[in-house]
Amino acid sequence: MSYNQQVTDNINQLKRQVKEAKSQDQLVNIIQSVQAHTGPLDYKDTALTIILWSFLLLGSVMLFLGVTDTYLPIITQIIGYTCYSAHSWLPALVVYILPATARRKK
């Protein structure tokens, strides 16, 4: 099971416990169990964060160096060709990623 799925399951379990609580003592016990919990309590989105910061850094460097006028047509051609040829590489990528994600969820 993936890290983010464990976090989601933990949150859903806590929501159920809070809804089922009949007294203030039960709520205090739930809070104490969260305090003593050793598992994941927060989502791990490091890959997405790295990608976003990389694009921000690349864009800032290009803007600072003034290479947008020179390289912008080349960059748009590369992006355009990548999107145009997606019918050939996207199915292979999906076939590669889906089994890997299914294995991690078990």
Please tell me the predicted confidence (pLDDT) of residue 16.
92
Q: Where are the domains of the chain?
A: 3-35, 46-105
Residue among 94, 103, 97 at smallest CA distance from 2: 103
State the CB neighbour count (10 A cutoff) for residue 68: 12
Buried b (16+ CB within 10 A) or exposed e, 34-54: eeeeeeeeeeeeeeeeeeeee
- Between CA 28 and CA 52 the distance in angstroms is 39
pLDDT mean values, one per 10 residues, the chain (106 residues): 75 89 90 80 73 86 74 82 87 79 58
26 in Cβ contact with 65 (< 8 Å): no
pTM (predicted TM-score): 0.42
- Between CA 2 and CA 10 the distance in angstroms is 12
